[in-house]
Amino acid sequence: MYVFICEDTIDGIFTAVYNAWDSHLGHKNIYILAKEPENYELFCEYIRVETDLEKSKKVADTIKRRLGVTVYTTLCEAIMAEEPCPKKTSRMNAADTFSITKADAFYRTLLYAFSMENPTRIMECLGNPYVLYLFELSRNVHTEAHHLLGFLRFQELQNGILFAETHPKNYVLPILGDHFSDRLPGENFMIYDKNRKLALIHRAGIKNFLITDASSINQEMIHNYSASELEYQKLWCGFFESITIEARKNPKLQNQNIPKRFQKDAVEFQK
Amino acid sequence: MQIQENMSIMEKLQILSDAAKYDVACTSSGVDRKGDGKGMGNCIAPGICHTFSGDGRCVSLLKILFTNECIFNCSYCQNNCNNDIPRASFTPDEVCSLTMEFYRRNYIEGLFLSSGILVSPNYTMDLIYQTLYKLRVECHFNGYIHVKAIPGADPALIERAGFLADRMSINLELPTANSLKELAPCKSRRTILTPMRQIQNGIHDNTLLLGDTSYKGSQPLSTKTRSSQKFVPAGQSTQMIIGATPENDYQIMSVAEGLYQKFELKRVFYSAFVNVNEDASLPVLPGGPPLLREHRLYQADWLLRFYNFSVNELLSEDNPNFNIYLDPKCDWALRHLEYFPVEINRADYNTLLRVPGIGAKSARRIIQARRTTRLDFADLKKIGVVLKRALYFITCSGKMMYRTKLDENYICENLLRDKTQIPKEIRESGYKQISLFDVGMTEPPQPVSLAMIT
């Protein structure tokens, strides 16, 4: 078995797919892994993949052309997922080590798609375990991103910048970036993914945004609110209180609809 | 009536959001609109929930009344002119700055603007129009706006507002003209249905105009605000109060069906009656608002809109109310066992849709997935089918999941063991009517005859 180890990014995994394909080692002898292996196997050869934007682009273009943009988006969303830890079974064997993980599932899904008469239908083949796995991952990412489109809260800082802090399970910043730079084109804003220590930055009047490392973010700066910020927070909290119908009060339903992990970043739940 | 001068924005917001909360429509759905690159805002078709209030309902829009000073005396409404409550009015500028600042901070998806009737319907509708105009034209707000059309207002004003809003609604309030006369003497069927028809026609004309590429002139009465002005692009909705008057579910659902078919409404909302005024002419509901009934009506509403059911299949003169213990789809299936079992690998989409436990999404996925593989029960589970409901009604490659009987009482008894038949949120909110039932459920299962519970 040849294990291609790559970066856990879209470009990293795309490059690994390119290299694996190009290696002519036989698809069934190949496994792609987007993290450090927990155990090194004896009869495996480990191949490090250097992320290469040119190769990645070729893979991306091929997917878009053969499978269509919709499938491409779904696959990218799946790759942005934080995978749940694979369940440890009592009898660890080779099959467990090479369980379904997203990078390899992505490779197998592509292989399957290219063998189909109409590859644009690949995401409908939920009978295939790899396709199903990617489908579930992308659904997770999609759901979380959609939640955050609503639950994210900006606070206005002294310099007029809108700042939001969030703790997403998955790497959803690109999806948030697309949405908010379209919605707030005239604002300077920053979305800080505290779990990954990444910041998404958008400048007023510019269509694009960038995502950058923010492990050394200035803590003082992000708590330095503008003069009117607290006033609007109060107004919002007041609205939030009075909109509840007492006769229908139902905290359990509330917590079910906006889970606790989102509440901690939403100003109306801070007391 | 108390009118205070110099009220703070905070006080106004509290009074006027409190006054608006019994309007249940808070969706921001139905329109996809990209940002224009300059102003603020965009819309996405499924809508976005921004938070959930203490009663568990979605908060998507800044839902406020423009004013709660009202000349009408609808007895179910707390803004009724005979009520002694604090009164307040916004100015258009105040509404604009609240909307813009809330929207920037991503608190809301847009504005829901309703109003009490100040001075006259025309006067009020004009104020609403002024506010929307300011918001769209001066503040360049491109987010979602849901606005009320005031019954009895000049059609020209309603039309103008319609070109600025995404969704418009006029509340039907009560399902029959008689009830309306009794509880809302200032409103009538005519003043409600006339603007509803007007909006429907407006949406139609607009579609025709946009479809005609030779048409370049400016639309009558419209204001140049957005490059692609559309009239009420997200369609119109309405709301009925449930439980204040004696209408049965059959009457209510027939009205809803009529509204969908004849007025092409996007949504009909049902609002469990909350007795805010302790008015002698209104019923006192000891169990609190009829939440379970409201839930069943919403379920049936979904069956009408997405599952190709008609009201006459679900209810009839002899059986005019929904079974409180079973959802309307299960209830229908039990009365029509001749259609079952359904073979998953062969049945067409519409047949699959009618199986309890299979929703529109899973029906579609079944059709897609079975093109490449034969589906079995494990696959169905992954696809999202609720097997504990579906298993009595389906076969996979000719086999049922367990040995079950295709028998009304047998299936009913088993379905009733499924606690999700009464939604979790209602079971847990201490709904009185349920506690009686729950006692019954803890006893050893007894044969339940359908006749007994319907």
Partner B contacted by A259 (CB < 8 A): no
| pLDDT given for residue A202 in this prediction | 96
Token pair recorded at residue A218? 């200035």
Domain boundary among B189, B207, B242: B242
Segment A78-88 mean pLDDT: 78
Contacts of B351 (CB under 8 A, 6+ apart): B339, B342
List beta partners, residue B396.
B399
Residue type, B449: S
Q: Are residues B355 and B235 in the same domain?
A: no
- Chain A CB contacts of B361 under 8 Å are none
Asked if the structure places residue B419 within a domain, the reply is yes
pLDDT over threshold 80, residue B217: no
Q: Reduced to 3 states, what is the DSSP secondary structure of residue B64?
A: strand
Partner B contacted by A149 (CB < 8 A): yes
Which of A2-11, A136-145, B74-83, B97-106 has the weakest average pLDDT? Answer: B74-83
Query: Cβ separation of B104 and A126 shorter than 8 Å?
Result: no
| pLDDT given for residue B174 in this prediction | 92
Higher pLDDT: B34 or B1? It is: B34
- Burial code (b: 16+ CB inside 10 Å, e: under 16) for B165-196 equals bbbbbbbbbbbbeebbeebbeebeeebbbbbb
pLDDT over threshold 80, residue B422: no
Query: Cβ separation of A235 and B13 shorter than 8 Å?
Result: yes
Strands B167-169 and B236-242: parallel
Q: Are residues B208 and B168 in the same domain?
A: yes
Dmax over CA atoms of chain B, in Å, equals: 75
CA nearest neighbour of A135 among B365, B360, B367 = B365
Asked if the structure places residue B144 within a domain, the reply is yes
| pLDDT given for residue B113 in this prediction | 96
Residue type, B279: D
Look over chain B and give the mean of its residue pLDDT values, rounded to a whole number: 86
Query: Cβ separation of A258 and B104 shorter than 8 Å?
Result: no
ipTM value: 0.90
Distance CA A203, CA A185 (A): 8
Helix (H) or strand (E) holding B79: none
Asked if the structure places residue B247 within a domain, the reply is no
How many structural domains compose chain B?
A: 3
Would you kindly state where each structural domain of chain A is located, as residue ranges?
A: 2-142, 152-269
> Are the C-beta atoms of B148 and B12 separated by less than 8 Å?
no
Higher pLDDT: B366 or B436? It is: B366
| pLDDT given for residue B428 in this prediction | 59
Asked if the structure places residue B416 within a domain, the reply is yes
Q: How confident is the model at residue A29 (pLDDT cuts 50, 70, 90)?
A: very high
Nearest-neighbour CA in chain A from B274: distance (Å): 7
Q: Are residues B183 and B326 in the same domain?
A: no
Host domain of residue B294 = 286-340+406-454
Residue reference for tokens 């006769």: A247
- Chain B CB contacts of A124 under 8 Å are 365, 368-369, 371-372
- Chain A CB contacts of B425 under 8 Å are 250, 252-253, 256
Domain boundary among B212, B227, B242: B242
Contacts of A260 (CB under 8 A, 6+ apart): none
Asked if the structure places residue B124 within a domain, the reply is yes
> Are the C-beta atoms of B174 and B75 separated by less than 8 Å?
no
Distance CA B354, CA B356 (A): 6
Which of B219-223, B237-241, B360-364, B366-370 has the weakest average pLDDT? Answer: B219-223
Asked if the structure places residue B257 within a domain, the reply is no
Q: Reduced to 3 states, what is the DSSP secondary structure of residue B213?
A: coil
Q: Given A164, A243, A251, which is nearest B63 (Cβ)?
A: A243
Distance CA B247, CA B161 (A): 33
E-state strands within B90-235: 110-114, 144-148, 167-169
Query: Cβ separation of A253 and B55 shorter than 8 Å?
Result: yes
| pLDDT given for residue B209 in this prediction | 59
Distance CA A7, CA A103 (A): 10
Q: Reduced to 3 states, what is the DSSP secondary structure of residue A166?
A: strand
Query: Cβ separation of B55 and A245 shorter than 8 Å?
Result: yes
Residue reference for tokens 């079950």: B404
* Residue pLDDT, tens place only, B90-114: 999 999 999 999 999 999 999 999 9
Q: Are residues B211 and B320 in the same domain?
A: no
* Residue pLDDT, tens place only, B240-289: 999 999 999 999 999 999 999 999 999 999 999 988 887 777 888 877 88
Distance CA B450, CA B142 (A): 53
> Are the C-beta atoms of A132 and A100 separated by less than 8 Å?
no
Residue A143: closest C-alpha in chain B: B48
Higher pLDDT: B42 or B450? It is: B42
pLDDT over threshold 80, residue A28: yes
Query: Cβ separation of B34 and A125 shorter than 8 Å?
Result: no
Distance CA B215, CA B335 (A): 53
Q: How confident is the model at residue B228 (pLDDT cuts 50, 70, 90)?
A: low
> Does pTM surpass 0.90?
no
Residue B444 is given by DSSP the state P
Asked if the structure places residue B453 within a domain, the reply is yes
Token pair recorded at residue B7? 């009220």
Q: Given B48, B59, B105, which is nearest A232 (Cβ)?
A: B105
Q: Reduced to 3 states, what is the DSSP secondary structure of residue B327?
A: coil
| pLDDT given for residue B427 in this prediction | 61
Q: How confident is the model at residue B444 (pLDDT cuts 50, 70, 90)?
A: very low
pLDDT over threshold 60, residue A91: no
pLDDT over threshold 70, residue B434: no
Nearest-neighbour CA in chain A from B247: distance (Å): 22
Query: Cβ separation of A156 and B105 shorter than 8 Å?
Result: yes
> Are the C-beta atoms of B410 and B337 separated by less than 8 Å?
no
Segment B402-431 mean pLDDT: 76
Q: Are residues B299 and B414 in the same domain?
A: yes
* Residue pLDDT, tens place only, A93-123: 444 557 889 999 999 999 999 999 999 999 9
Query: Cβ separation of A232 and B102 shorter than 8 Å?
Result: yes
- Chain B CB contacts of A244 under 8 Å are 21, 53-55
Q: Are residues B232 and B96 in the same domain?
A: yes
Q: Given A150, A162, A245, which is nearest B50 (Cβ)?
A: A150
Helix (H) or strand (E) holding A193: strand A189-193
Q: What are phi and psi of B221, to 5 degrees?
A: 70, -5
Strands B86-87 and B2-3: parallel
Q: How confident is the model at residue B5 (pLDDT cuts 50, 70, 90)?
A: low
- Runs of H (alpha helix) within B263-372: 291-306, 311-314, 328-335, 349-353, 360-369
Q: Would you state the torsion angle of the CA atoms of residues A103, A106, A107, A113, taken in this order, to the nearest 10 degrees?
A: 180
Asked if the structure places residue B259 within a domain, the reply is no
Helices (runs of H) and strands (runs of E) counted in chain A: 10, 8
Which candidate in A126, A154, A200, A256 is best for mutational testing of the B interface (most B CBs within 10 A)? A126
Q: Reduced to 3 states, what is the DSSP secondary structure of residue A263?
A: helix
| pLDDT given for residue B205 in this prediction | 83
Q: Are residues B156 and B67 in the same domain?
A: yes
| pLDDT given for residue A123 in this prediction | 92
| pLDDT given for residue A219 in this prediction | 84
Distance CA B385, CA A132 (A): 15
Nearest-neighbour CA in chain A from B330: distance (Å): 24
Q: What number of other Cβ atoms are within 10 A of residue B73's Cβ? A: 15
pLDDT over threshold 50, residue B452: no
Query: Cβ separation of A121 and B368 shorter than 8 Å?
Result: yes
Q: Are residues B94 and B237 in the same domain?
A: yes
Token pair recorded at residue B303? 């069956």
